[in-house]
C-alpha cells in the first residue's frame, strides 16, 4: 500500500466525498506507511477500481497514540487512538489500535455514524460488510455507466484508453457483485438445509 499514507501537505484534513460507507483503518497499513511515529500525516481511501481518492483524514502521530482528525457532517472531530504493542518474538513487536470506544485491542477500526470504533462496538458482521461492498459496487458501476453512452458504447469524445479502463472497471464491479451474490445464495441454501434437517415435517419444499 505504497500510496496510502503521505505527508500532510497543502490539503486541509477533512472528508471529501459524499458517503462514509464503512471506511476502515488498518494499523498494519499505518505501520508499513511508517505513520506510527511523531508527525502529521494524511490517510486516503481510494476507489479500488479507478484508484481515485474518495476520502481522507489527518493523522497526528504521537509517541503512544495517533489522533485522527477529520470533519464529518460539518463537525470537526479529533479522536485519540492509543497504540499498543505486543511482543512477536525475535525482538520485534506488533502494533494494535486500542478501540477508542471499548479499548479492545484490534487491527481494524471502522467509521460509522461519524466515529471510528472496532467491529464489535459498531456491531458489524462480516456479512454486512460484504453487503456494503456489494452496494458500493453497484453505485460505482452506475457512476461509470453515466460516463458512457447507451449500452456501454464509447462516447465520441472519449479516448479509447479511457474507455477501455472504464469497461474494465465495470467488469470488476460485476465480478465483485457476483462473488457476493454466490456467497449469499450459498449461505441461504445452507440455512434452508439446516432447517429442513431440524424440522423435516414442517418445511415442505416442492418444485
Query: Interface with Zn ion by CB under 5 A: which residues?
Result: 99, 101-102, 104, 117-118, 121
Question: How is residue 148 written as a grid cell?
Answer: 458512457
Q: Which is nearer to Zn ion, 46 or 105 (CB)?
A: 105
Half-sphere exposure (Cβ direction) of 18: Cα atoms closer than 13 Å: 3
Question: How is residue 184 written as a grid cell?
Answer: 449469499
CB of 20 vs Zn ion, minimal distance in Å: 18
Residues 6+ apart with CB under 8 A from 86: 93, 94, 96, 105
Q: Which is nearer to Zn ion, 6 or 101 (CB)?
A: 101
Q: Which is nearer to Zn ion, 96 or 180 (CB)?
A: 96
CB of 120 vs Zn ion, minimal distance in Å: 5
CB of 86 vs Zn ion, minimal distance in Å: 17
CB of 24 vs Zn ion, minimal distance in Å: 13
Backbone phi, psi, residue 113, to 5°: 45, 45
| Whole-number Cα distances in Å, 108 to 91, 150, 182, 185 | 24, 41, 26, 28
Question: How is residue 166 written as a grid cell?
Answer: 472504464
Q: Which is nearer to Zn ion, 49 or 121 (CB)?
A: 121
Amino acid at each position: 500500500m505504497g500510496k496510502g499514507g503521505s505527508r500532510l501537505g497543502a490539503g486541509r484534513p477533512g472528508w471529501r466525498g459524499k458517503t462514509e460507507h464503512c471506511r476502515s483503518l488498518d494499523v498494519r497499513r499505518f505501520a508499513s506507511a511508517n505513520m506510527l511515529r511523531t508527525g502529521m500525516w494524511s490517510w486516503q481511501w481510494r476507489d479500488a477500481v479507478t484508484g481515485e481518492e474518495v476520502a481522507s483524514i489527518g493523522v497526528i502521530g504521537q509517541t503512544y497514540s495517533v489522533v485522527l482528525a477529520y470533519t464529518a457532517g460539518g463537525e470537526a472531530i479529533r479522536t485519540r487512538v492509543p497504540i499498543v504493542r505486543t511482543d512477536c518474538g525475535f525482538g520485534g513487536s506488533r502494533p494494535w489500535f486500542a478501540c477508542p470506544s471499548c479499548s479492545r485491542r484490534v487491527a481494524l477500526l471502522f467509521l460509522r455514524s461519524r466515529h471510528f470504533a472496532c467491529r464489535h462496538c459498531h456491531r458489524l458482521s462480516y456479512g454486512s460488510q460484504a453487503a456494503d461492498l456489494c452496494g458500493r459496487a453497484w453505485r460505482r458501476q452506475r457512476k461509470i455507466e453515466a460516463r458512457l453512452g447507451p449500452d456501454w458504447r464509447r462516447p465520441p469524445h472519449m479516448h479509447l484508453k479511457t474507455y477501455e479502463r472504464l469497461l474494465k472497471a465495470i467488469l470488476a464491479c460485476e465480478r465483485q457483485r457476483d462473488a457476493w451474490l454466490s456467497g449469499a445464495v450459498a449461505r441461504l441454501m445452507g440455512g434452508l438445509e439446516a432447517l429442513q434437517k431440524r424440522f423435516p415435517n414442517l418445511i415442505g419444499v416442492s418444485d
